Homo-oligomer: A and B are copies of this chain.
């Protein structure tokens, strides 16, 4: 067991899968010698060469198109779209080609393709901050993974690469370099701390399985990515007040692990859904709709949605913090949810 950063864990997943299966290759901008904007592919070109670590022009549409075609030929491309904001430039190839070809060929063709992309606000302004996963949840034919620890990042990426469907793989910018050593401490971080260690042995984390990052009986908090940390922080505060919050990390948005969500909410009777994307028609809308549909009679209070305000992500760090869900807002939402008897 070794503690790693997410960036390194992802790099390991890539290199192991590439060693294992010659059909796996990478393509994207600056992923070669440069190692990618977040250094995930650092060093891979040395081991695998330019044919398997393919540096591309700034052409997102061509990147995804190339990946789709290669996948149709039986390869397993892992395409990197540097920031999720740039995915907006290649929606057609993702939505109308990658996601639909299997269906449109009557199930004859598979498109085993991974699109890795970095998301989340980190004070770079509105074109480098967007969380657009709701668009892809709304697109039949795509799977979506979103890890928040090194162990899960590695295990999920391996699953994504081995999956025979297109998978959008989300990597939060503020988590790439997160270290076990600068983790928030306390009870509620126990499980997450353990997930900073990655075993030597081969393992995978399946798509479609949520993970309970903290057990509790009073309220269910559902989150993804960076928000999992913020929710655990809130859970820590709540614990001091004697409130036991269950924090569920979805890990995959498609397939969605409704079982884990619903059985938790049936237990606690209360749910808060936290996601970094804008509230309206976002991830929190879908998750809360699912909860109502399957646990209506168990709910003691309305589900609280906590997401980014419905504005573009502002540059000013103060304003950014105000816009995306912070501890204060999450805490307030939980309290509101607990208010009612």
Contact = CB atoms under 8 A, between A and B. Distances in A.
A278 B100 CA distance: 14
A88 interface: yes
A135 B302 CA distance: 25
Interface residues on A, range: 35 or more
Contacts of A305: 289, 293
A283 interface: yes
Given A293-B302, A293-B305, A302-B292, A137 B280 contact: yes
Interface stretch (A32-40, A89-97, A115-123, A174-182): A89-97
A312 B126 contact: no
Contact of A85 (B96, B141, B301): B96
A138 B292 contact: no
B134 A138 contact: yes
Interface string A289-301: 1001100100001
A11 to B, nearest CB: 29
Given A284-B289, A293-B305, A126 B103 contact: yes
A281 B138 CA distance: 5
Contacts of A277: 138
Interface string A118-136: 0000000111000010110
Interface centre among A139, A284, A311 (most CB of B within 10 A): A139
A155 interface: no
A281 B278 contact: no
A282 interface: yes
A140 interface: yes
Contacts of A280: 137-138, 140, 254, 286
Contacts of A303: 289, 292
A310 interface: yes
A104 interface: yes
A283 to B, nearest CB: 7
A286 B292 contact: no
Interface string A221-243: 00000000000000000000000
Interface centre among A139, A281, A314 (most CB of B within 10 A): A281
A288 interface: yes
Interface centre among A103, A125, A280, A282 (most CB of B within 10 A): A280
A44 B96 CA distance: 33
A100 B285 contact: no
Given A88-B96, A254-B280, A281-B285, 6 more contacts: A88-B91, A100-B126, A103-B312, A134-B134, A137-B280, A288-B292
